[in-house]
DNA sequence: ATGAAAGCGCTAACAT
DNA sequence: ATGTTAGCGCTTTCAT
């Protein structure tokens, strides 16, 4: 020990410096009263409260989180679990979650699951481990069965970007289909007919819904989807690059427009085109989805995804549940917005 | 209660479903033994261990985090505090931190502080509240005095992108000066002499260091900095746009090159130039700093900041401290890397 | 190798 | 309005 009273060696922790007992002794009040002050109970006289606070200040008291959590059965913490950390927009969603969490004096425990088994295990641990008061799950790939069971746990749970099937859960998602339909309609209104679509990975919720939106728009305009113009991608930029490159290498004719179901793939397409001296929108119109930062800089027409809104809405729902709102299934669907930029502006038209 | 045994009403929480006591009863072993199994103690016979595990499985036991933390005085959690959430690269740093944390079976508590007082309060709460075993602080604006005091706390702390002055702390940062010097030298080697520099906000650690690197490079090449060509920015893209626009609006001649001390400002400059039909690098060379995603797509020459590395290194240091490494001051300086792209490629040169 | 029991620091009846 | 005390669920001596 040194003069400051703290052990400065390695990672060794000694017992907590100051406890309610210390404050109790110092102030001459009981631990119960100290606790009451800590919890802003109205049953303490201003004068005693002042005494306690003074003692706390003098001793440099900070309440022990684990002890409080154990006794109160609440942690004032919301858990947020994301799928593999490179899953794109986690940071935007997290910003949204945090905004509402901090407004409600809630802390955040953030975890990233790398694979399906880990996801399920993490969810279990958080649900039943008393580490958090509630859980927000982003786009996880867990079985419906597991989700249904988890929905019965005492810890409330909100799902982002993943349907809940028949589990009695609050879910938050964006209107992928409407967004895609709007973008596709935009291209059709521009007079384009031979429109290629680059989809995301098979079975991805977002990709599937966006594709449905495309079909819907084509149907309404009486345009039949051409199987040749349905390209498969992975949501990564290089898959857009690959798709475009191999199409051109095969000597096939440019479509009139290309709709990549997310921005990175659209940007990959753009690179492949640029490399060959082809120009957007002069030679081909291009649309993406999500409105990532780069889309703005590149002048890419795209559909804006309400990522922060998803986070905020999910967290809002969690807070309400924690405040006692009845647990009934509810699906929040946030709107997207078409952002028209250079990549679909017709050059010479009057 | 319903048949699942859980209360499905509002946010009400009842006592934890299954406890060590339950497992103890079910398995016929004492709670001590159950605890030993939970902690992988070697002092339990394989056979009894199996019995306990079986009971746990049957009952669906999950250990209570707060209770463990209270008893063991460890949380297996690392706290990460960021300044205001829009502070750019938090997500990349967080990815790095998480990589190492999960490799070491550590959880993450993430918090964002909006202002200085909140920062200090958060740090105190995390340092002394027993909520986390260690703390990683990113680029916070707290007083040196506070930091020095905090460094004495039992909870170890690592600072990212902020010097520790005389506090006995581990700090992690990137070599801003060397990065800027390399970029500037690149421009000078290209033959440019009239080089404008857009700085970041006054007093920012990153901005100041990068500027020093610029000066260093100029000095070595015998180029005197021209006050007219030192522009002030805010690190936001619009400030780059503004600086460039007002320069051109004033009818002043283009410099030969522009070095924006971060990418967003460089991109702002690019937009202002493009709007006026000026071209990069034909009319003016352009360099940024950080290598954000958009830089690649826009062909912007820039200096790559090792954001994930900062996170990883900081977390690594934390883990070592928790494992008992002596607490001595150490400054990790991670290298940057110059990424040359189109924006500084000389067009017609052989 | 296993058990009994005393805490960890705080909260929440219950009592006064 | 304040104090007493019994937990919260788990770990950890100390016995055996």
SS3 readout for A152-181: CCCCCEEEECCCCCCCCCEEEEECHHHHHH
> pLDDT at residue A350 above 70?
no
User: Which residue stretches of chain B are H helix?
Assistant: 20-27, 31-38, 46-59, 65-72, 90-103, 116-128, 144-150, 176-189, 205-220, 237-249, 263-275, 293-298, 307-322
Q: What residues in B contact A13, CB-CB < 8 Å?
A: 73-74, 133, 154-155
DSSP B152: T
Contact A154 B107 (CB under 8 A): no
Range scoring the smallest mean pLDDT among A21-25, A201-205, B91-95: A201-205
How far is A272 from chain B, CA to nearest CA, in Å? Answer: 12
Q: What residues in B contact A294, CB-CB < 8 Å?
A: 293-294, 297-298
Counted residue by residue, chain B has a size of 350
CA distance A203 to A199: 10
CA distance A35 to A63: 9
Tell whether omega for the bond before B38 is within 30 degrees of 0, i.e. cis.
no
| Contact between the CB of A20 and strand D at under 7 Å | no
Angle at A314 between CA B100 and CA A327, to 5 degrees: 120
Single out the residue of B250, B341, B269, B350 nearest to residue B300, CA to CA. Answer: B341
**pLDDT-based confidence at A69, cuts 50/70/90?**
very high
> pLDDT at residue A248 above 70?
yes
Contact A326 B94 (CB under 8 A): no
pLDDT of residue B139: 84
**pLDDT-based confidence at A82, cuts 50/70/90?**
very high
User: Half-sphere exposure of A161 toward its Cβ, with a 13 Å CA cutoff?
Assistant: 28
Mean pLDDT of A223-234: 96
Cβ–Cβ contact A111 with B under 8 A = yes
Q: Which residues contact residue B316 at a Cβ distance below 8 angstroms, ignoring those fewer than 6 apart? A: B100
Q: Which residue has the tokens 């640029």?
A: A274
Domains, chain A = 20-71 (1.10.260.40), 77-174+307-334 (3.40.50.2300), 176-305+338-344 (3.40.50.2300)
Among all protein residues, pick the one whose CA is nearest to the C1' atom of D11.
B71
| Contact between the CB of A45 and strand D at under 7 Å | yes
Cβ–Cβ contact A60 with B under 8 A = yes
How far is B194 from chain A, CA to nearest CA, in Å? Answer: 27
Q: For residue A211, what are its two tokens?
A: 């594709």
CA distance B230 to A247: 48
Percent pLDDT > 90 in chain A is 82
Do A302 and A291 form a contact (C-beta atoms < 8 A)? yes
Cβ–Cβ contact B38 with A under 8 A = no
pLDDT of residue B202: 85
pLDDT of residue B165: 81
pLDDT tens across A39-63, in order? 999 999 999 999 999 999 999 999 9
**pLDDT-based confidence at A340, cuts 50/70/90?**
very high
Interface of A with B in 73-102 (CB under 8 A): 73-75, 77, 85-86, 90-91, 94-95, 98-99, 102
* Residue pLDDT tens, chain B, 350 long: 233 333 333 333 444 689 999 999 999 999 999 999 999 999 999 999 999 999 999 999 999 999 999 999 999 999 999 987 665 688 899 999 999 999 999 999 999 998 888 899 999 999 999 999 999 999 888 888 899 999 999 999 999 998 888 788 999 999 999 999 999 999 999 999 999 999 999 888 899 999 999 999 999 999 999 999 999 999 999 999 999 999 999 999 999 999 999 999 999 999 999 999 999 999 999 999 999 989 999 999 999 999 999 999 999 999 999 999 999 999 999 999 999 999 999 754 43
pLDDT of residue B108: 96
* Nearest-10 crossing angle of helices A65-72, B65-72: 140
What is the model's pTM?
Answer: 0.90
Q: Which residues contact residue A75 at a Cβ distance below 8 angstroms, ignoring those fewer than 6 apart? A: A65, A69, A107, A130, A131, A132, A133, B66
Q: What residues in B contact A4, CB-CB < 8 Å?
A: 152
pLDDT of residue A114: 86
Mean pLDDT of A148-152: 91
pLDDT of residue B295: 95
Q: Is A5 exposed, middle or buried (0-12, 13-18, 19+ CB in 10 A)?
A: exposed
pLDDT of residue B6: 34
Which helix (H) or strand (E) segment holds residue B304: the answer is strand B302-304
pLDDT of residue A141: 81
Q: Which residue from A minimizes the CA distance to B320?
A: A11
* Phi, psi angle pair for A164, to nearest 5°: -105, 5
pLDDT tens across A260-313, in order? 999 999 999 999 999 999 999 999 999 999 999 899 999 999 999 999 999 999
CA distance A176 to B210: 43
Mean pLDDT of A207-224: 96
Q: Which residues contact residue B268 at a Cβ distance below 8 angstroms, ignoring those fewer than 6 apart? A: B236, B237, B238, B239, B240, B241, B242, B243, B244, B260
Q: How many Å does it take to go from CA A28 to C1' C9?
A: 18
pLDDT of residue B151: 92
**pLDDT-based confidence at A87, cuts 50/70/90?**
low
Q: How many Å does it take to go from CA B33 to C1' C3?
A: 8
| Contact between the CB of A39 and strand D at under 7 Å | no
Nucleotides of C under 7 A from a protein CB: 1-5, 7-13
> pLDDT at residue A158 above 60?
yes
Smallest CA–C1' separation from B70: which nucleotide? C8
User: Which residue stretches of B39-160 are H helix?
Assistant: 46-59, 65-72, 90-103, 116-128, 144-150
Q: Which of the pair, A162 or B267, is modelled with greater confidence?
A: B267
CA distance A324 to A133: 12
């Amino acid at each position: 020990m040194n003069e400051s009273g703290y052990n400065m060696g390695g990672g060794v922790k000694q017992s907590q410096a100051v406890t309610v007992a210390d404050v109790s002794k110092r102030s001459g009040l009981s631990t119960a009263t100290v606790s009451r002050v800590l919890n802003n109970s109205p049953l303490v006289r201003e004068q005693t409260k002042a005494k306690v606070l003074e003692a706390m200040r003098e001793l440099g008291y900070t309440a022990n989180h684990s002890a409080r959590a154990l006794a109160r059965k609440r942690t004032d913490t919301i858990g947020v679990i994301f799928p593999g950390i490179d899953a794109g927009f986690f940071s935007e969603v997290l910003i949204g979650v945090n905004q509402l969490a901090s407004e409600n004096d809630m802390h955040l425990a953030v975890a990233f699951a790398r694979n399906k088994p880990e996801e399920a295990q993490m969810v279990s641990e958080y649900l039943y481990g008393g580490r958090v008061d509630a859980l927000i799950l982003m786009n996880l790939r867990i079985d419906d069965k597991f989700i249904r069971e988890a929905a019965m746990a005492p810890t409330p749970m909100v799902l982002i970007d993943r349907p809940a099937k028949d589990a009695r859960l609050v879910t938050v998602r964006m209107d992928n289909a409407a967004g895609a339909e709007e973008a596709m309609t935009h291209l059709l209104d521009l007079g384009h007919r031979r429109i290629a679509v680059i989809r995301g990975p098979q079975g991805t919720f977002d990709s599937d819904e966006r594709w449905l939106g495309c079909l819907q728009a084509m149907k309404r305009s009486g345009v039949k989807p051409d199987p040749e113009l349905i390209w498969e991608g992975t949501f990564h930029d290089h898959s857009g690059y690959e798709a475009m490159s191999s199409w051109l290498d095969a000597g096939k004719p440019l479509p009139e427009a290309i709709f990549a179901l997310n921005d990175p793939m659209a940007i990959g397409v753009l690179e492949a085109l640029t490399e060959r001296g082809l120009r957007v929108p002069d030679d081909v119109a291009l649309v993406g989805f999500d409105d990532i930062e780069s889309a703005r800089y590149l002048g890419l027409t795209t559909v804006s995804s309400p990522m922060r809104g998803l986070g905020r809405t999910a967290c809002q729902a969690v807070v309400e549940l924690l405040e006692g709102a009845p647990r009934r299934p509810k699906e929040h669907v946030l709107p997207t917005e078409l952002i028209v930029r250079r990549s679909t502006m017709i050059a010479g038209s009057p």
